Amino acid sequence: MLPLQSSTKKIVSPDRGRMLIACPDGPGIVAAVSKFLFDHGANIVQSDQYSMDPEGGMFFMRIEFDLERLAARLPSLEADFAPIAERFRMDWRVTLASVKKRVAVFVSKEEHCLLELLWQWQSGDLYADLSVVVSNHPDMAPIVEPFGIPYVYVPVTPDTKPEAERRQLEAVREHGADLLVLARYMQIVSPKFIESHANRIINIHHSFLPAFVGGKPYAQAYRRGVKIIGATAHYVTEELDGGPIIEQDVQRVTHRDNVDELKSIGRTIERTVLARAVKWHLEDRILVHENKTVVFS
């Protein structure tokens, strides 16, 4: 079977840039940023902003703009913007929209979230390079290999976990991945693992957090007789299932649904919620502040 290649139907201009800003709120921020881009010949094509609290709170902004020869001019653009950023005490970055982020997907034995990511990538809906799939089981290899994506199998046991994580991170570095997606990867990762990719590890939890944290959430939900089940995509932190939430969704259920039926309904929610969260990260739509996210969707 020939490897399947990612669709090229989505074309992003090499002159398209994205600026993300978080800073204390105050007058003049939007004017200063807009004037700076205008003075440098940029054309703003989209602008979103959000103020948590106009009186002493935080301000968040995302701008997409076009600027000829952006890649070559980016270092000087950043240098020129630095005084403005310092004046408003900004945490900021500028990215090239045309440069695809490289993604490592971690899986165990559940295939639905992995398949959704593969389908969306292959169709061009996920603008990324899926650089490697890492698993603690060999089961998903036949699914992944026809796509031409390397599959790295690293067994994990309680005794071998530190060494296994070292090998996993080595594979991530080898394939140049800058975003890690835990697509129903049923392992708790260590603080050292998380530290290496802060706010760059997305997990899908098969529950509407903060309800039913930890293992077997569908069984927990069934015992409580819930009428709504859901899924939550979040950045991974040292607090189990407690990281900044990116996206959630729910579906109504009834007392007639047993645990297996809840799981079946939940799988559909999980895969769509995870794919949306990954897509928003790839498009630089997420700003993290403390343990919350601002998502310009």
Tell me which residue of 114, 125, 131 sits closest to 279, measured CA to CA: 125
Q: What is the mean pLDDT of the chain?
A: 91
- Strand ranges (DSSP E) for 71-143? 91-96, 101-107, 128-135
Instruction: Say which amino acid occupies 21.
Output: I
Q: Rounded to an integer, what distance in angstroms lies between the CA atom of residue 9 and that of residue 146?
A: 20
* Catalytic annotation, residues: 241
Q: Is the predicted pLDDT of residue 147 greater than 80, yes or no? A: yes
In the chain, the N- to C-terminal Cα span, in Å, equals 37
Q: Rounded to an integer, what distance in angstroms lies between the CA atom of residue 228 and that of residue 211?
A: 11
What is the DSSP secondary structure assignment for residue 284, as one 8-state letter?
A: T
- How much is the pLDDT for 233? 96
Q: Rounded to an integer, what distance in angstroms lies between the CA atom of residue 35 and that of residue 261?
A: 55
Model-level pTM? 0.91
Q: Which residue has the tokens 């950045």?
A: 235
What is the DSSP secondary structure assignment for residue 146, as one 8-state letter?
A: G
All domains in the chain, ordered by first residue = 16-96 (3.30.70.260), 101-295 (3.40.50.170)
pLDDT digits (tens, 9 = 90+) for 174-216: 999 999 999 999 899 999 999 989 999 999 988 766 566 777 7
